[in-house]
Amino acid sequence: MDELKESVIVTGGSSGIGIAIVKKLLKSNMNIVVFDKYLSKDLQKLIRLQPNLLRFIEFDFKNPEELKPAFDKVSKGSQIVALVNNAGICLEGDLLQKSLSEWNETINVNLTSPYVFMQLASKYFIENKISGSIINITSLHSEIIREVPDYSASKAGLKMLTKEFAFYLSKYGIRVNAIAPGSIQTNMILKYHELKDVERNAKKRIPTGRVGQPNEIAEVVEFLLSEKAGYITGETIKVDGGLSLVI
């Protein structure tokens, strides 16, 4: 294993919070493997600039049963030391009108795929005696109603999985934590709301008076992956500008 590159897997790394995480970790000269269903122009640019540090694996998280062969392929060429489960979707719609297929899609992407990935990474860490780290990107809506039940339920489940895996893996020196973003300026928000409306709403509702930026989540990811966070496991860190204090 010594000759293999130490690598971090980041899911959903083509845009939004995911690509902010990738950029932050690249600045620390970390080797990164991005799993995502599409390769964005921004990620393509990063790969051209850092071809020795960054790889892309095309993967659709609606199909979690196909994760194992993809993970096995990556682990044969790299020494995986961390996993960041960031990929997620939010399908807007009325609670009583949501179809079972929409529910299954959300659960597969937001909860089942991270669960399978955590299993695979955990077994890999244990077998190779690696004190790895796992970070799950949940949401403030793991606790607070968003009126998108499948999304909220999936994120609440991921928060609990974080605790379960953290407890089980602690004896192996493997840490598992989560980050719960509040209102962050990403395409997931801007798909449904104009930026000016998001900003105006933030000034009214969020104690810090502004929307968060993807890089502010990436900063916390970098910290949790570092030795500075060596005594932290099983935690969900809210990064929400104080929004959870008032709702």
pLDDT of amino acid 192? 56
Residues classed as catalytic? 151
**Whole-structure pTM value:** 0.94
> Identity (one letter) of the amino acid at 141?
H
Q: How far apart are CA 134 and CA 121, in angstroms?
A: 8
Q: How far apart are CA 222 and CA 229, in angstroms?
A: 10
Burial class (CB in 10 A: 0-12, 13-18, 19+), 205: middle
DSSP 8-state assignment for residue 43: H
pLDDT of amino acid 193? 59
CA distances 20 to 26, 68, 126, Å, are 10, 26, 29
Closest C-alpha to 85, from 189, 159, 5 = 159
Q: For each of the chain's 247 residues, which pLDDT tens digit applies?
A: 446 789 999 999 999 999 999 999 999 999 999 999 999 999 999 999 999 999 999 999 999 999 999 999 999 989 999 999 999 999 988 889 999 999 999 999 999 999 999 999 999 999 999 999 999 999 998 988 878 899 999 999 999 999 999 999 999 999 999 999 998 988 766 665 567 777 888 888 999 999 999 999 999 999 999 999 999 999 999 999 999 998 8
Residue corresponding to tokens 């968060």? 212
Question: Helices 113-127 and 67-77: crossing angle, nearest 10°?
Answer: 40
Burial class (CB in 10 A: 0-12, 13-18, 19+), 1: exposed
DSSP 8-state assignment for residue 240: S
Q: What are phi and psi of 23, to 5 degrees?
A: -60, -40
What CATH topology corresponds to 5-245?
Rossmann fold (3.40.50)
Answer yes or no: are the C-beta atoms of 209 and 203 closer than 8 Å: yes
Which two three-digit tokens encode residue 135? 């970070």
Answer yes or no: are the C-beta atoms of 143 and 156 closer than 8 Å: yes
Q: How far apart are the first and last CA of the chain?
A: 48
pLDDT of amino acid 3? 62
The enclosing H or E element of 94 equals none
